[in-house]
Each structure stands twice: as C-alpha cells, then as structure tokens.
C-alpha cells in the first residue's frame, strides 16, 4: 500500500533538527510539498530544500521564532504567498536546555519549555487551523515525548512543557473534529539520529534493556509514523498520544 500525499503541503517546525529533517524528506518522498521551518540553521534548510526539489516537489524555507506569535503569522503569510494553504502541520521544534533537578533548574527553562511546547502549538493552531476549517480537512501532528509518561528525575521542565502540550492537543481535537481535522501526537523514545551515527553511539544497553523490543528506535521510524498520521489511512484517528518507542512506555486504559 502506497501513501500518497500528492497535492498536499506540509509544514514541519524545526525541519533542520535531527528528527525534523527526516520527517521532511519522508513527507516529500510521499508526494507532499514542504515548508521547511528553521530558527538558525539556514544552511541545513537550504540543503534540504535542494534535496526536496530534486524529488520534483516544491519546497520553501522560512525562518521564524516559534515562541513569537507575530513571527508565526509572518510564516503563514509567506507560505500563503508562495505555496498556498497548508494541509499538514507538524509541531516538532522545541528549545534545548541543560537538564537538572527541580531545585537546580533555572526558572527560565520552565518558561522556554512552556513557550516552545504549549504556546507554539497555540500559535500554529490560530494561524493555520482556520483555513483548514474552511477546506473541511487537515492534519495537526505534535511531536511529544515518552518523558511525559516517565516523569524521571531531571526531566521536570521538558515533561511539564510536553504535558501542557498534550492538554492543548486533546482539547483541540475535540474542538475541530467536526471539520474533519485530526489532531494527534507522536511520542518518540530516545531515538537514533544522524548525530548518533556520526558518533557511533547508536547502542545504549542501559536504555535498550528496558525496552520490550530491546533496541532504540530510528529517526526514520518516527518519520514513518508522521506520514501515516498525515495520510488518509489515519482519517479516523484523532486525539491520540502514540508512543513510538518500542513499548518503553505504554498508555493504560
């Protein structure tokens, strides 16, 4: 069975990141035109644009701070002018910071996680969902994390931000479902990316030994889940939090 996203346009925030770049390539390989959002890595964004246009797809790069409402709307305007409407929004970008205990964590780190997880999701919804409502369809896909279920020491700011994001997505799914817009989340585990391959750090027995499938997942496996949720195969799935982590966390009924 072939997933066909021809004539669809997908926006991926954080397209130049370890997971985002594979999502962009995979969505493009499935037929979608791509909006490559980046914050600072313009060179990687341009490189990805060349890759995607070589596949025969249309692709544009857009720089924006995803914690700034005005810049999100600016991104929307550029996309509207150059590609038209967006059918698929993937909220992948997140601010990186140094993890430590709650007592040691800087308050600014909690703010950054709230802004990049919760407010990014709100801004993207406000900017792109109204046009989806007019067209009676669309896909919103948030990249969450297994950490939201683990609540391990040191994860507090990240977990708080992603659990807040979870609340936004579940409510949004109920608010826009009547318009045939699906809203779902993918929760990756500790995923192998190009960085691991370059450093030969793919294996971590301490982590993998607790995973039912006894291995770490790959960036491609995360991207495959994104493409599935973006497709018509997932047309009756909404409000879901889907771990893609080999069973390392399992939501209960």
List residues with catalytic annotation: 158
Whether the Cβ atoms of residue 25 and residue 132 lie closer than 8 Å to each other: no
Q: Which residue has the tokens 């407010």?
A: 119
Question: Which residues in 11-31 are b (16+ Cβ under 10 Å) and which e?
Answer: bbbbbbbebbbbbbbbbbebb
First CA to last CA distance, the chain: 30
Are the C-beta atoms of residues 23 and 90 closer than 8 Å to each other? yes
Q: Cβ distance 64 to 79 under 8 Å?
A: no
Going by C-beta distance under 8 Å and a sequence separation of 6 or more, which residues neighbour residue 120? 13, 66, 67, 72, 91, 93
């Amino acid at each position: 069975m072939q997933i066909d996203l021809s004539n669809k346009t997908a926006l991926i925030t954080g397209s130049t990141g370890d997971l985002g770049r594979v999502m962009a390539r995979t969505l493009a390989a499935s037929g979608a035109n791509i909006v490559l959002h980046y914050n600072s890595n313009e060179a990687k964004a341009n490189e990805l644009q060349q890759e995607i246009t070589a596949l025969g797809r249309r692709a544009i790069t857009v720089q924006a701070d995803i914690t700034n409402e005005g810049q999100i709307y600016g991104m929307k305007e550029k996309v509207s002018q150059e590609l038209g409407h967006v059918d698929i929004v993937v909220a992948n970008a997140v601010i990186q910071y140094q993890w430590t205990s709650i007592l040691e964590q800087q308050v600014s780190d909690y703010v950054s996680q709230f802004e990049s997880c919760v407010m990014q999701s709100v801004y993207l919804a406000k900017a792109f969902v109204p046009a989806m409502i007019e067209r009676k369809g669309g896909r919103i896909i948030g990249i969450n994390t297994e950490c939201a279920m683990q609540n391990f020491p040191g994860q507090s700011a990240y977990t708080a931000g992603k659990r807040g994001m979870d609340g936004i997505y579940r409510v949004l799914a109920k608010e826009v479902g009547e318009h045939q817009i699906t809203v779902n989340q993918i929760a990756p585990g500790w995923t192998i990316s190009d960085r691991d391959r370059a450093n030969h750090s793919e294996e971590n027995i301490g982590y993998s030994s607790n995973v039912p499938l006894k291995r770490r997942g790959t960036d491609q496996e995360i991207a495959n889940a994104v493409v599935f949720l973006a497709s018509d195969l997932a047309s009756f799935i909404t409000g879901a939090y889907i771990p893609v982590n080999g069973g390392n966390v399992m939501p209960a009924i």
